[in-house]
Each structure stands twice: as structure tokens, then as C-alpha cells.
Amino acid sequence: MPWGEWDQLKAEAAEKQGMQLNQLPADPGGGGGNPSGVQGDLVVNQDDLGAVGNEAFKLHDHLGKQADIAGAGMNKDGAGTTMQAAASLKSHNFALGPALETTVETWSAQLKTLLQACAHISNHLDYTKASHARDEEQIRASLRTDDGSAVPVSRINEYFK
């Protein structure tokens, strides 16, 4: 296509609707579309945060009790049954002894990491809920006059200028 023809096509397109190259029309909803067809920003309810935080707490508690193979069946020296078995196998020169020991150490390290992640999620969501509640209370208080009545709409509108 010669350059002059391209310029002519651009001019014609601009006359018809205004030129739009390499872009989509602006999204009036403030966010991308989603499968449900609802437009808007991400919304998370306090109940959602609480439920996720509660599940993380329950998982932490359950894993701490059920997945600790290093501490299960501890003897007077503090060794669990799996480590006792590893020591016994090792003392009889079985290669399985040191391998079992390594397995318990690796399992314990991974379990500790998972427990920390669960605790972090639970604590973070608890903090987020409390922080959001404080923010809401501060906003609520700032939208009241000294006598407790609601701030007029005209004054609220000043915040958006």
C-alpha cells in the first residue's frame, strides 16, 4: 500500500469516528470484565476474610498435632518413634537409618514452613479485619459534625475536588 493511500485511509477513519489505533474502548466499570458479567472493583467481605483466617488457623492446629512425625511417641530423651527407629537401624549398620533420619529432618523443616505460612495467613487476615474496622470507624467519625449530625453532602463533595 503506498504511503499516500495510508494517509487517505487514516483521514477517512478519523472523519468517521475519531481514530483508535491499538486500543479498546475505555472500560466504564473501573475494572476488567468477569465471567458473571458484573463490572467493578474487587470486593471482599469481612465474613470472607474471617472464614479464610479461621481455616488457616484450624489447618495450623491440625497439622501441628497430626503431622509431627519427629515428636510422635517421644521417649525420655525427646526422640520420637521415627527417630528412635532411625537410631536403631543406624546402630545396626543399616543404610536405612541415616536415610530415615534425613527424611524426618526434611519433613520437619517442611512442616515448620507450612505451619509458619498458615500462621502468617491467619494473623494477616486478623490484622486486616481489625485495621479495616479502625479505618471504617475513623471515616464514620470524620463524616460527623461536632454535634454528631451527618456532614452535609456539599462538604463531602469537597473531598472529591
What's the pLDDT at 48? 77
CA geometry: angle 66, 114, 101, nearest 5 deg: 65
What's the pLDDT at 38? 53
What's the pLDDT at 66? 84
What's the pLDDT at 25? 58
- Would you list the domain boundaries of the chain? 43-158
pLDDT tens, the chain, 161 aa long: 567 777 787 777 777 665 455 555 555 554 444 555 555 566 667 777 778 888 999 999 998 888 877 777 778 887 888 889 999 999 999 999 999 999 999 999 999 999 999 999 988 887 887 888 888 888 877 778 778 788 777 777 777 76
Q: Is the pTM of this model over 0.75?
A: no
What's the pLDDT at 40? 56
